[in-house]
Chains A and B, each alone.
Chain A
Amino acid sequence: MSNPTFARPPADGDGPAAGRPGLRLVLRGATLPALLFALWWSAYHFGWTDSKLFVPPEKVWETAQKLWENGSLLASLGGSLQRFLAGFVLGSLVGLVVGTALGLSRLLEGLVGPTLHAVKQVSLLAWIPLISVWFGLGDTSKIAFLSLAAFFPMMLNTFEGIRSVPKDLTEVARVFAYSRLQLLHHVVLRSALPSIFTGIYLALLYAWLATLGAEYLLTSGVGIGNLLTDGREHFWMDQVLLGIVIVGAVGFVLNLVAGRFEASALKWRENATANY
C-alpha cells in the first residue's frame, strides 16, 4: 500500500504501527507460527524423533485430501453442523422466549429465576450422562444437550437486555399510546437487541463446544467429534490434527457470520447512538 491515506486503519486502533501498518504487523505476527512450523517440519525431516505420534505437516494435508475424496470429511462436518444448527435454533428460541417473559414480568422472574440460575451452575457436560439416560444415545440426546447449552446464554442476555431498556423509551411509547404488542415489538425488543446479540454469540459458541462434547461422550453417529475420537483411538495423529484445525475453523466462521449478521441487524443504530 503506497498511499497511507487509503490504508485501512489497524484493527482496534492498535499501537504505533499506524504509520505503515500492514506489512510489519503481518511479518511480526507470522514469525512465531513460521518458526513453529519450521521446527515441526525439520524435526521430522532431520529425524530428530521417531515417535509414531509425530507426523509431518504434509501427512495432515494428505489425510485431509483422502478424507475429502472418500466423503467422510464432508459427512462428519455435515453431521456435526446439522446437529449444531438444530440444537442452537431450538435452544436459543426457547431461551429468547423465556428470557423475554422473565424480563417483562418481575413476578415470574422472582418465581422461576433463582431456580434457573441454580440449574445453570451445573457444569454443562455433567448433563450428558443424565440426558443420555432420558433421551437415548442417538441424535435426540445430542440435540437436547446442545439446546441446553444454547438456552442459558440466550435466556440470560435477553433477560438482561430487556431489564436495561431505558425507562424514558417506554414512557415515550406510552405517550404515543402504543399497544402492548407494539411496545414489545418496536421498543423493548429493539432496544434489547444488542444484548440479545451477545446472547446469540455466546449461544453459538457454547453450542459448538457442546457439539464436540456430545460427540465425544455419545459416540454413536458421525461428526467432527467422532473424527477426533477415532483418530485418537487408532493413534492417527494426522486425523486428530486435522480435526483440531476444522474445529478452530468452524468456530472462527461462526463468529464471523454472527458478526456480519449483527452489523446488518444493528445498522439503524449508527445514526442513533453517539459517535465518538
Chain B
Amino acid sequence: MALPAVSGLASPLDPALRHDPARGRASARPVGGQPALAAAPAGPMEAPPQAAAQGTPWPQRLRRLALAWPFPIALLLAWQLAADNEWIPPQILPAPSVVAQTFLDLFESGELQDHTLISLGRVLYGFALGSGAGLLLGVAMGLSTTAKEFLYPTFKIFAQVPSLGWLPLLMMVLGIDEALKIVLISKAALVPLAMSTYNGLRGVPNRYIEIAKVYGFNRRQLLQKVVFPAALPPIWNGLRYGLTHAWLALVAVELLASSEGLGFLIVYGRQLYQLDVVLAAVIVVGSVGLLLDKLLALIESRLLRWRVAAF
C-alpha cells in the first residue's frame, strides 16, 4: 500500500473513498444505496493514516511541497493572463486578482465571517443532533439482535433516499425556516453514523469477546473496555463521513432555500452575475469543509494513539 503520507492524493479525506487492499473488494463498498448512506467500510479499520504521516522523512516532504506548487501557480498565472488580455469575459470568469480583492472586501466588511458563522452554526447544530441520534440507533442495532431485526429494514428504506430527495418533502412540511436546515443536516449525518456504528459493533472480532469472557468481565466492562474501543475507528470514520455529508447538505439547502449563509452568498452572487463573490464563497466552502475534516482527523489520531503503540 502506498504510504498515505507520500502522496497528497492518497491521504483519504473522504473515508468512504478509501480503499483498503488488504480487505479487497469488500472494503469501501457503500453499504446501502445513496452516498448519504454509503457507510464507512464495515469491520475493524486499519490504523489511521495520520500515524504514517508522522514518520515521513523531511526530504520527501520538501520534494512533495516543491512539486505541489508549480501547477496551481501556473494555472493561476494563465488565468490572470487570460483575464488581463480579456480572452475570457469577466462575466464568465473574473481575474484571480479581482476574486482576491472581493474576498478581502467581503472579509473587511465582516459579511464573509457572518455568513460563515451562520453556516457553521447550522452545521454543528444539525450534526450534533443527527450524529447523536445515529449513534444511539447504531448502538441499539449493533448490540441487540432484536432491535436490529425490527429497525434495520426500515432504516435501510429510509436511508435509501438521499437527503436531496427528502428536501422537497421537508420544505412542504417544515417550510423554509431554520427547522428545515437542521432536520436535513441531521438526516445527512444520522445515516452514515448509524450505519458505521452498527457495522463497527458487529465487526468486533469474536476472539476479543471470548478473551474478555475468560477474564470474567461483566457486561459493562465488556462494553466499556473491549467492544467500544474496538469499534471506535469505524465509528469515528462514520463521524467524519457524517460531517462531510452534513456540510454537503448544508450547502444544498442554503442554495435552495436560505437568505443567509455561504450557500446564499453563492446564489446571490450568481444572480447578480458577480462571479467574484461566487468564487470567494466557493473557496470558503471548500476550506471550511477541509478544516472540519482535518479537525476530526486530528482528534482521531489523538484518541487512537494507543493503537499505534501496538504495531
Contact = CB atoms under 8 A, between A and B. Distances in A.
A28 to B, nearest CB: 4
Contacts of B92: 133-134
Interface in A90-132: 102, 106-107, 109-130, 132
A66 interface: no
B145 A212 contact: no
Contact of A255 (B2, B30, B63, B165): B30
A113 B12 CA distance: 12
Interface string A28-58: 1111110010000000000000000100000
Given A116-B9, A244-B165, A121 B286 contact: yes
B59 interface: no
A79 interface: no
B184 interface: no
Interface residues on B, range: 35 or more
Contacts of B32: 255
Given A153-B17, A205-B38, A15 B168 contact: no
Contacts of B75: 115
Interface string B173-207: 10000000000000000000000000000000000
Interface residues of A, number: 86
B282 A121 contact: no
Nearest to B145: A15
A102 B9 contact: yes
A113 B10 CA distance: 9
A133 B166 CA distance: 27
Contact of B30 (A15, A161, A202, A243): A202
Interface stretch (A81-89, A140-148, A174-182, A245-253): A245-253
Interface in B206-252: 247-248, 250-252
Contact of A202 (B35, B72, B248): B35
B17 A133 contact: no
Interface in B261-278: 263, 266-267, 269-270, 273, 275, 278
Contact of A125 (B2, B18, B35, B255): B255
A262 interface: yes
B67 interface: yes
A251 B156 CA distance: 12
B48 to A, nearest CB: 16
Interface of B: 1-2, 7-14, 16-19, 21, 24-25, 27-30, 32-36, 38, 63-64, 67-68, 70-72, 75, 91-93, 145-146, 148-154, 157, 160-162, 164-169, 171-173, 247-248, 250-252, 255-256, 263, 266-267, 269-270, 273, 275, 278-279, 281-283, 285-287, 289-290
Given A110-B67, A198-B17, 13 more contacts: A14-B148, A29-B150, A114-B64, A114-B72, A126-B281, A128-B255, A152-B17, A153-B17, A194-B21, A237-B172, A240-B168, A244-B168, A269-B24
22 contacts: A53-B173, A110-B67, A111-B68, A113-B68, A114-B64, A114-B68, A117-B9, A122-B283, A130-B279, A153-B17, A156-B14, A160-B10, A160-B17, A202-B30, A202-B38, A212-B164, A229-B168, A237-B172, A243-B165, A244-B169, A252-B160, A254-B33
Interface of A: 14-17, 24-25, 28-33, 36, 53, 102, 106-107, 109-130, 132-134, 152-153, 156-157, 159-161, 163-164, 166, 194-195, 197-198, 201-202, 205-206, 208-209, 212-213, 216-217, 228-229, 231-232, 235, 237, 240-241, 243-244, 247-248, 251-252, 254-255, 262, 266, 269, 273
